[in-house]
């Protein structure tokens, strides 16, 4: 039997739990933070669970943490002493590797140390056991979750934990000239899906206004065709690599294979969005990728996702489906044109 902590976007934990229930038999759940963080127990060991989740990664599970050690919280200096002893005893896990330390806590947890103080103490121990403290591109992550009575401790690689950010809460710094926060969704998709947008040359942005995704594609050096009857941000209009079609997407046609990337972040119903993307899919070259968001407007998001994916599979291979941290009532799909 192994114990784990799962994290989902606020309000979507029940869907993450439902996906896990379909993946594992005899699974037991406990809520840790309403609608967002939960623990679960399954019969398999940690390596088997990591393997099963990597093979069929849940859409709504944003972050995963094994509970390798459980430490009662006393609320005094003994907590840090016991934590450092645990790290020393796990020397083989961290030795010779770049290690990040992540602390999350429930409200009113008796664990009295801040993330910064905890990190400073643990970093000193990591140095002692020949592990380099590193928040950037860590090879191992030490995850700490301070509950109302216990410190739940686990470790794993960023790939195993599904993110190298605490709880999968990916943070980007807002730029002064940023067109919209929607840019963060495409930045996170690029990172999560292992893409480099600069490797593409011609992108089609369906439903582009006000231009958050278009702005990032232009920054990456692409030629961008943006379609939307609404106005794009004035800062984009003069860009020589932008073609702006102030029309409904249903009114335009392109020559086959005009683009190697298609993106769509429209606030339309899922099936309307799906129809528009399929109608314009001939313009995307075979082997080209599409990044689209699916708005979950109904009470049965899992069924909505199944319906949309079934329709899109007429033309695309579904490479990944994920609710990203910057998604709200939606998920993001990565598709490859057949």
Q: Map the chain to HEC letters.
A: CEEEEEECCCCCHHHHHHHHHHHCCCCEEEEEECCCEEEEEECCCHHHHHHHHHHCCCCCCCEEEECCEEEECCCCCHHHHHHHHHHHHCHHHHCCCEEEEEEEECCCCCCCCCHHHHHHHHHHHHHHCCCEECCCCCCEEEEEEECCCEEEEEEECHHHHCCCCHHHCCCCCCCCCCCCCHHHHHHHHHHHCCCCHHHCCEEEEECCCCCHHHHHHHHCCCEEEEECCCCCCHHHHCCCCEEEECCCHHHCCCCCCCEEEEEECCCCCHHHHHHHHHHCHHHEEEEEEEEEEEECCCCCHHHHHHHHHHHHCCCEEEEEEECCCCCCCEEEEEEEEC
Confirm whether 295 is a catalytic residue: yes
185, 295, 322, 337: the catalytic one is 295
Q: Which residues are catalytic?
A: 295
């Amino acid at each position: 039997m192994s114990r784990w902590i799962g994290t989902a976007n606020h309000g979507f934990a029940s869907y993450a739990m439902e996906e896990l229930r379909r993946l594992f038999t005899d699974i037991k759940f406990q809520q840790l933070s309403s609608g967002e963080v939960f623990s679960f127990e399954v019969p398999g060991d940690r390596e088997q669970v990591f393997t099963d989740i990597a093979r069929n990664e849940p859409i709504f599970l944003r972050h995963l943490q094994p509970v390798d050690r459980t430490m009662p919280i006393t609320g005094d200096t003994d907590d840090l002493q016991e934590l450092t002893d645990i790290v020393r005893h796990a020397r083989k896990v961290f030795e010779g590797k770049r290690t990040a330390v992540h602390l999350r806590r429930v409200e009113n947890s008796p664990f009295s140390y801040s993330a910064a103080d905890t990190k400073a103490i643990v970093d000193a121990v990591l140095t002692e056991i020949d592990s380099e403290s590193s928040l950037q591109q860590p090879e191992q992550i030490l995850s700490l979750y301070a509950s109302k009575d216990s410190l739940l401790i686990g470790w794993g690689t960023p790939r195993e934990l599904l993110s190298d950010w605490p709880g999968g809460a990916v943070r980007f710094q807002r730029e002064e000239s940023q067109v919209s926060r929607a840019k963060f969704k495409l930045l996170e998709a690029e990172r999560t899906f292992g893409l480099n947008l600069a490797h593409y040359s011609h992108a089609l942005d369906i439903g582009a206004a006000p231009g958050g995704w278009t702005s990032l594609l232009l920054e990456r050096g692409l030629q961008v065709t943006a379609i939307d009857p609404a106005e794009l941000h004035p800062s984009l209009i003069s860009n020589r690599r932008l073609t702006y079609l102030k029309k409904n997407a249903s009114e335009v046609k392109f020559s086959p294979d005009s683009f190697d990337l298609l993106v769509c972040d429209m606030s339309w119903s899922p099936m309307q969005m799906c129809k528009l993307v399929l109608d314009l899919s001939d313009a995307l070259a075979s082997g080209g990728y599409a990044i689209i968001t699916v708005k979950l407007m109904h009470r049965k998001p899992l069924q909505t996702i199944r319906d949309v994916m079934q329709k899109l599979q007429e033309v695309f291979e579904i490479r990944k489906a994920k609710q990203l941290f910057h998604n709200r009532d939606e998920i993001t799909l990565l598709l490859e044109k057949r």
